Structure 1
């Protein structure tokens, strides 16, 4: 088992289709757990364990900031951050679980389909922080209480304002096919990034493969993470990003950098980032405490203020620079469908973009 090379296909199986418009809609198998309150007993038990292992697909600076804030709030508990792209995290956890290695306590991923698989394998523990039960909408919570959406953002178009005038900037995905953008585009890769996999699924579903076939002819710079395209246009290496997260551009613009966000006319893919605790967690009490901390109003507000992430916590105030959710055309993806089509999407995409 230790030498086996695990692929996503080994672990991902098609799941029951989700109800329309509901992000986490597996059949209810058991009663959801009650709201879990942070008690002195839980804190003491977590401090006795002294550590927690956190696997994250969030950017390293975000994951590390969460870790340091937790350590400051709960002295004596060290957070070990294991950060990588969502698809690599998925493969690593599969390898560890298949080899009987129980190293992960808490994991979040930008690919919600991972949680369908982990739940199907009975790897996730049922635990619902009090804030989730009280302040999060039902469609952002697993019915059985094994995970919930810790934060979210949008995949958008963006451009460098020193290279592109606002009136000439693309306003839609269709605009990216204009010959004037040939050799000037950059985008992420669905085999590395769960966010880009979801965004690619949405584009295939709504615009079809012919769209991506035409886009591939635009001599697009191919990078890995959804966080990479914003950095490339910020550096001026490319004028326009065909996809990438919105929060990096919002933060850069706050600092006076020459970048602008474009929410495509067709709609922007919504990227949700669930978080869950593993049943085999070596530090179960610290894992519960970390999960409760992650979903607290204090931490959720920090994610919104410092990193421009979206939060579904009802008490969190949106960053002023954000376009309100009510004014955006959101393109939501069914995780079960992403799961079922992921291998085909990655293989066909790689062939088209020759990567």
Structure 2
């Protein structure tokens, strides 16, 4: 046999092995779907209370697979404690929890209520930056809540609008910035942490920003209306899709050139889930094109690649905004201590 014929034979064998593996994987997933349908239901815990897009996703899943999703909503701390107590007593009720990536890592480590799960088909469609977050098999990324700036268009001329986070350190904004409190857990701290760890910003940026004496609030929903009323020309950080609630008012969202701080939400599998196949199927569906487009149309960021031309033009900048960074629960005490030091 010639060298070329030998190489061709070797390639053919490898391709045959790969094809056989793919067929086996497809068959295994089809069996998982069938087993999920036989389980007929699943229980979902979430702290994202009353979100219409989450409800729409649940309904789409139920319609596609005929599996009932029983949703329990509540405060994040209450949901966490409920799961911890239930599992500690050997009562395994929840199958999936929809939560932030940071909380998923923290709770998995401290409470042991979340567990890793086998890969599902839709993991292959994720953007690279989110695919990396699935490498430990714990978290299924679904969407991001992106934060930018809100500007009063009656008070700030287009040429004067801040285009970057760095622009906020300009002395012309002294006393004119309303900010969610960076010294407490929430959007303000998320912004602080992401900027602190971003190239070109860091601690020096916050030392300069502090000189502009931003006014702090802990009412993010009312903050946008305060800017619309002219109490302040700028509010940070602003959840970009909240602009829909300020329609007709003299305000506009700004996506800073450095990128947006974000909270990544997704699903985790509960330990000893009573409906494990239905749980995996729901986790996979939540990363599908159908589910991602529901989030994109609501103005949230998406984790799946290749959907640009299917996202409505008015929310496309939000769905695919450049990411600046998010929080790290392992460095929370360090970050809060620094924020309190800078913003006294």
TM-score, with structure 2 as normaliser:
0.70
Query: What SS is found at the alignment partner of 1:243?
Result: strand
Query: What SS is found at the alignment partner of 1:176?
Result: helix
Once the two structures are superposed, the pairs formed by residues 234-249 of structure 1 within 5 Å of their partners are 234=228, 238-249=232-243
1:218 aligns to 2:213 (yes or no): yes
How many residue pairs get matched? 305
CA distance in 1, matches of 2:313, 2:290: 18
Q: CA contact under 8 A between 1:151 and 1:311: conserved in structure 2?
A: yes
Q: CA contact under 8 A between 2:195 and 2:324: conserved in structure 1?
A: no
CA distance in 1, matches of 2:95, 2:255: 36
Q: CA contact under 8 A between 1:129 and 1:295: conserved in structure 2?
A: no
Select the structure that is richer in helix. Answer: 2
CA distance in 2, matches of 1:169, 1:156: 13
Once the two structures are superposed, the pairs formed by residues 52-91 of structure 1 within 5 Å of their partners are 52-57=43-48, 60-73=51-64, 77-84=68-75, 88=77
Cα distance per residue 1:149-171 (max 9 Å; x no partner): 21124321221323433223222
Q: In structure 2, what is the equivalent of residue 276 of structure 1?
A: 268
CA distance in 2, matches of 1:81, 1:162: 43
CA distance in 2, matches of 1:269, 1:148: 20
Q: In structure 1, what is the equivalent of residue 334 of structure 2?
A: 344
1:107 aligns to 2:102 (yes or no): no
CA distance in 1, matches of 2:230, 2:55: 27
Q: In structure 2, what is the equivalent of residue 30 of structure 1?
A: none
Change in 2 beyond 3 A, CA 1:91/1:189: farther
Query: 286, 296, 312: which one pairs with 2:303?
Result: 312
CA distance in 1, matches of 2:184, 2:84: 17
Once the two structures are superposed, the pairs formed by residues 231-310 of structure 1 within 5 Å of their partners are 232-234=226-228, 238-249=232-243, 251-252=244-245, 255-305=247-297, 307-310=298-301
Q: In structure 2, what is the equivalent of residue 15 of structure 1?
A: none
Cα distance per residue 1:109-141 (max 9 Å; x no partner): 33x3333344546532304332223x2245423
Q: In structure 2, what is the equivalent of residue 172 of structure 1?
A: 164
1:209 aligns to 2:200 (yes or no): no
Q: Quick check: 55-64 or 167-176, which moved more?
A: 55-64
Q: CA contact under 8 A between 2:92 and 2:274: conserved in structure 1?
A: yes
Cα distance per residue 1:13-72 (max 9 Å; x no partner): xxxxxxxxxxxxxxxxxxxxx674562431231x2xx44122144873433443444455
Q: CA contact under 8 A between 2:148 and 2:255: conserved in structure 1?
A: yes
Query: What SS is found at the alignment partner of 1:42?
Result: helix
Query: What SS is found at the alignment partner of 2:237?
Result: coil
- Highest CA radius of gyration, 1 or 2? 2
Query: What SS is found at the alignment partner of 1:154?
Result: strand
CA distance in 2, matches of 1:237, 1:191: 23
* Aligned-pair CA distance for 1:304: 0.9
Change in 2 beyond 3 A, CA 1:291/1:214: same
Change in 2 beyond 3 A, CA 1:168/1:89: farther
Once the two structures are superposed, the pairs formed by residues 108-147 of structure 1 within 5 Å of their partners are 108-110=98-100, 112-120=101-109, 123-133=114-124, 135-141=125-131, 142-147=134-139
Query: What SS is found at the alignment partner of 2:300?
Result: coil
Change in 2 beyond 3 A, CA 1:212/1:95: farther
Gaps spanning 5+ residues in structure 2: where?
Answer: 1-24
